[in-house]
A and B are shown apart, each in its own frame.
Chain A
Amino acid sequence: MTTTAARRDTFALPRWIWTIGNTVLTLVLTFVGLTAVTFAIGRVMPADPVLAIIGDRASNEVYERVYLEMGLDRPIYEQYFRYLGELLSGDLGMSIMTARPVLTDIAIFFPATLELATIATLIGVFIGIPMGVLAAVNQGRWIDHVVRVFGLIGYSVPVFWLGMVGLLIFYGNLGWVGGPGRIEPYYDGIVDTVTGIILIDAAMADEWDVFWDAVSHLILPSAILGSFALAYIARMTRSFMLDQLSQEYVLTARVKGASELAVIWKHAFRNVLVQLITIIGLTYASLLEGSVLTETVFSWPGIGQYITTSLFNADMNAVLGGTIVVGACFIGINMLSDMLYKLVDPRARA
């Protein structure tokens, strides 16, 4: 009796609470899954975190002592729960490689990636969308084919290779852009770190030399990273626009004598905006994690490079912390895009 009553109550809850509850549950599960998998990988790695601290020539006595200090003798589930506990209290542990708390490291490295991915996405948006619209409007004509092939090229180029070649041409030969890294080292330390994003920090501090130096370092890696975003966004814009342009209201508008420009931008484009924002969100999320190789080629001190070098150096706290932060952003943005999409597109709700 009581149980049915209780169940009825639950069912009486408004639908949105269900949705939110469901989302939160998925979020928690995904998050726990993410930490568990990363943690397990870290513990079965052949790279030895103890040796990462003591070096390869250390005696066995030193090894045993550090092994115990790190708590590696405990059963793995116990280590995991201890880690989760510390994580929930905001402690990500110390990094071996940088001799700093992982949280501090992330506060330093993450803005660099954020800066790179943001500019890359913007490049994708401001070039990709017009390209996509142009292709859709001229469907089947040469311009459509050009955009389509161009988009596929963006998918097919190995970014690390493009980065190398780009560096050689635009920095080495032409001298148009800055070299590897975020900034020339002699500009380092001039601007106080406030947001961690050099462009903003430099502009706020009124240090325009630093600002332009940062811009010149940023252009190439973000353009190369952006080529993927551009390809994807142009492609999706084209297909969304085609969908809209074949709708009846477009025909109606045309019959009513609206100019072609107005039809495209006022009517059709407005209707694909939400879908596009979803796509842009997804692109942004994938760039945040996909910048690993670009960062390697450009010596970009971002989170991707941080995770990779930590991984190679068996610095597991750093790998876990970095992965969790990137994963959380990835999950969060995906979830937001998903919800936005469901909110607007009635078909997706079913």
Chain B
Amino acid sequence: MTLFQRIGAWIAVPLTAALLSAPVQAGPPKDTFVMAKDISDLITLDPAEVFELSGGEIIANIYDRIMMYEPEDLSTLVGGVAESWEILDDGKTIVFSIRPGMTFHSGNPVTAEDVAFSLQRVVKLGKTPAFIVTQFGWTPENVDELVVVEGDKVKISITEEFSPALVLNALSAGVASVVDMKTVLENEVDGDLGYAWLKSNSAGSGAFKLRTWKANELVTLEANGDYRHGAPGVKRVILRHVAEPSAQRLMMEKGDADIARNLTPDQIKGIEGNDNIVVRADPKGTLVYLAANQSHPILGKPKVVEAIRHLVDYEGMANSFLAGQYVVHQAAWPGGLWGSLMETPFSLDVEKAKALLAEAGHPDGFEMQIDTLNRAPFPEIAQSVQATLAQAGIKANIVTSEGKTLWPMYRARKHEMMVAIWSPDYTDPHSNIDSFANNPDNSEEAKLTGVLAWRNAWQSEAMNAKVAAARNELDIAKREAMYHDIQRDLQKTSPYAVLFQQAEQTAMQKNVDGFVSGSNFDLVFYRTVTK
């Protein structure tokens, strides 16, 4: 009894004290930039493996890449670790000169050996994003001959037909991050090329180094004072995992976060009245699209897919629950980038759709299943589509799931219709077009599970040829026209209806300045931020 009382006093007194004298929420210190973001997708920080949006953004701030886009001009590809490059006459060999005077976070100098090692490491580890460079014909067996150090330069050769512009662009992707060979090899275990270690450590030459990564809690980055463009504007960047958008908003209003990345359009509207917070919108390369499995007896009919393209309330959605964060976009390569096609030929037209359905032999509609992700805005989009499909008699049932449950089904062609998301791996149209349109082998056994066209069991020989031709074309203007042509074709005959392009809305405290966010997911720069 008395013991109980004593324990009670022990517990109760501090608790009440805390309630009464709740500590003043001072907000983050001046030199620390706190970002509220959903980083649940983060599973690795090894640049040879990162393929997730959050991870891609973080490694872009830790590692310099061979080629880069810089925050000062997001549309011009410039040299990163490579100071200059020379394309040899055959168009299949590029020689890079390394920028002198650069050092890694460890203090080691950045050399040609590091560059060659980084590329070879990607190919030898063979993780998911490796395809970005292995498509050039590199294999673990031949990469040591095709990527070589020549004095203080690196020479790369490709064996496949590719436009050099495309190759340079691909070398601005995450896999082209230059890692510190010496440090990585010091941490090698059983010949794993430092794979186990680099997952949660950093060995780069970028503006920040990784201090801590606590999964589903936070990532702390520390400024690299010796960065080649000068020290970053803040000493520390903390990415705080906050899954709940409304919690992110509360943290903004309380001043506990400097920036919130995942607010919904309606929350943005609610926060606009707050004088201490500014909202910015940055167009992103992410597309939301509908895909119909062509092995489905009804969805496989081109007229049916055409009808479905007319059964989406594009404007209605873009002006209501998507307002500000998604714009109508109907081509397979996002707007605002080289090669984009801005035509939007489709709008909700129930009569036309009914006529098309009748032509296809389904005047009374049919029944099918729509699968999609279980996070906003996908269930809402699916429900809106469900309602407009119903106007033409198509009865759709919605199933929402986590990505990890959705993908296996999509990759196994077990879906009927899918509302999904796609963002480019690098900023050349080939990145998207290759996946949307090119399907060299449609057979079940081919298992081209990474290719959207294969997943939807769609193949067109003519289209395959067009994709290859555009990929190899050396003349820039001609190449752009070819991509426009391909995108128009995809609008007419394909299993897709591209619906929207994302614009990321970010809420920031008024004192935050210099946050740069480009069209691709990994073009987000922390080093220019000041507060």
Name A residues whose Cβ lies closer than 8 Å to a Cβ of B.
Answer: 45-48, 51-63, 65, 95-100, 105, 108, 122, 126, 164, 167-168, 171-172, 175-181, 184-186, 188-189, 209, 212-213, 215-216, 219, 265, 269-270, 296-297, 299, 301, 305-306, 309, 312-314
A108 touches B214 (CB 8 A): yes
Residues of A within 8 A of B11 (CB): 122, 126
Q: CA–CA, A265 to B200, complex, Å?
A: 56
Residues of chain B with a CB closer than 8 A to A45's CB: 405
Interface check B338, CB cutoff 8 A: no
Contact B243 A299 (CB under 8 A): yes
In contact, A52 and B247 (Cβ under 8 angstroms): no
Q: Which residue from B14, B243, B254, B410 sits with its C-beta under 8 Å from A172?
A: B254
* 19 extra interface residue pairs, beta carbon distance < 8 Å, beyond A55-B51, A98-B215, A176-B22: A45-B405, A47-B408, A55-B128, A58-B128, A59-B131, A62-B130, A99-B200, A168-B246, A171-B254, A175-B254, A176-B19, A179-B250, A180-B251, A186-B29, A188-B212, A213-B23, A297-B244, A301-B214, A309-B40
With beta carbons under 8 angstroms apart, the residue of B215, B242, B404 that contacts A181 is B242
Known: A48-B407, A301-B217, A312-B404. A212 touches B448 (CB 8 A): no
* B220 at interface, CB cutoff 8 A: yes
The interface bits of chain B over 244-256 (1 if a CB of A lies within 8 angstroms of the residue's CB, else 0) are 1011001101101
A56-B410, A186-B238 given; A99·B128 CB < 8 A: no
Q: Does B345 contact A (CB under 8 A)?
A: no
- The reply to whether B25 and A219 contact each other, CB–CB distance below 8 Å, is no
With A53-B43, A172-B250, A180-B247 as given contacts, are A313 and B404 in contact (CB-CB < 8 Å)? yes
- Is the CB–CB distance between A46 and B448 below 8 Å? no
Complexed CA–CA distance, A296 and B409 (Å): 27
Enumerate chain A residues within 8 angstroms of B404, measured Cβ to Cβ.
47-48, 51-52, 312-314
CB closest residue in chain B, given A215: B18
A-side binding surface: helix, strand, loop or mixed? helix
Contacts of B403 in A (CB 8 A): 56
- Report how far A59 CA is from B434 CA in the complex, Å: 14
Q: Is B228 an interface residue (CB 8 A)?
A: no
A175 / chain B contacts, CB cutoff of 8 Å: 22, 25, 254
Given A179-B247, A179-B256, A299-B243, do A216 and B23 touch, yes or no (CB 8 Å)? yes
Contact A60:B52 (CB < 8 A) given known A46-B408, A188-B220: no
Complex: chain B residue closest to A127, CB-CB:
B12
9 tightest CB-CB pairs across the interface, nearest first? A98-B215, A60-B447, A56-B407, A48-B408, A58-B128, A99-B199, A47-B404, A55-B51, A215-B18
**Chain A residue contacts of B243, Cβ below 8 A:** 296, 299
Q: Report A-chain residues with C-beta under 8 Å of the C-beta of B408.
A: 46-48, 51
Let me know if B449 and A168 touch, CB within 8 A: no
Pick from A95, A180, A215: contact of B242, CB below 8 A: A180
Q: Which residues of A contact B12 (CB under 8 A)?
A: 126
Asked whether B329 is an interface residue with its Cβ less than 8 Å from the other chain, the reply is no
Which of A47, A53, A299, A306 sits near B247, CB closer than 8 Å? A299
Is B15 engaged at the interface, CB distance under 8 Å to the other chain? yes
Chain A residues near B325 (CB-CB < 8 A): none
Q: B14 contacts A186, CB within 8 Å? A: no
Complex interface: chain A residues within 8 A of B530 (CB): none
- A46 x B409 contact (CB < 8 A): yes
Are the C-beta atoms of B51 and A219 separated by less than 8 Å?
A: no
Interface residues in B101-153 (C-beta closer than 8 Å to A):
126-128, 130-131
Given the complex, which residues of B lie within 8 Å of A164, measured CB to CB? Answer: 246
A321 to B527, CA, bound (A): 39
Contacts of A98 in B (CB 8 A): 43, 215-216
17 A-B pairs with C-beta separation under 8 A: A55-B52, A57-B51, A58-B51, A95-B215, A99-B43, A99-B199, A167-B250, A171-B254, A175-B22, A179-B254, A184-B28, A185-B34, A185-B220, A185-B240, A186-B238, A212-B18, A215-B15
How many Å from the CB of A211 to the closest CB on chain B? 9
| Bound: A297/B245 CA distance, A | 11
Distance in angstroms between the alpha carbons of A270 and B216 in the assembled complex: 45
Interface membership of B99, Cβ < 8 A: no
Q: Which residues of A contact B18 (CB under 8 A)?
A: 212, 215-216, 219
Whether the pair A97, B43 counts as a contact (CB closer than 8 A) is yes
Distance of A43 from chain B, by nearest CB (Å): 13
CB distance from B473 to the nearest CB of A (A): 25
Cα of A270 to Cα of B4 in the assembled complex, Å: 12
Interface contact B240-A181, CB-CB below 8 Å = yes
Contact of A59 among B218, B253, B448 (CB under 8 A): B448
Closest residue on chain A to residue B250 by CB atoms? A172
Q: A51 to B216, Cβ gap below 8 A?
A: no
Question: Does B8 lie at the interface of the complex (its beta carbon under 8 Å from any beta carbon of A)?
Answer: yes
Most buried by B among A47, A53, A55, A100: A55
Q: What are the residues of chain B within 8 A of A179 when measuring CB–CB?
A: 247, 250-251, 254, 256
**Counting chain B CB atoms within 10 Å of each CB, which of A46, A57, A213, A269 scores highest?**
A57
Whether the pair A57, B128 counts as a contact (CB closer than 8 A) is yes
Residues of A contacting B43 in the complex (Cβ-Cβ under 8 angstroms)? 52-53, 96-99, 313
Contacts of B407 in A (CB 8 A): 48, 51, 56
Instruction: Report yes or no: A60 in contact with B448, Cβ–Cβ below 8 A.
Output: yes
CA distance in complex: A305, B214 (Å): 14
Q: What's the least CB distance linking A166 to chain B, in Å?
A: 12
A269, B404: Cα distance in complex, Å: 53
Q: Is B411 an interface residue (CB 8 A)?
A: yes
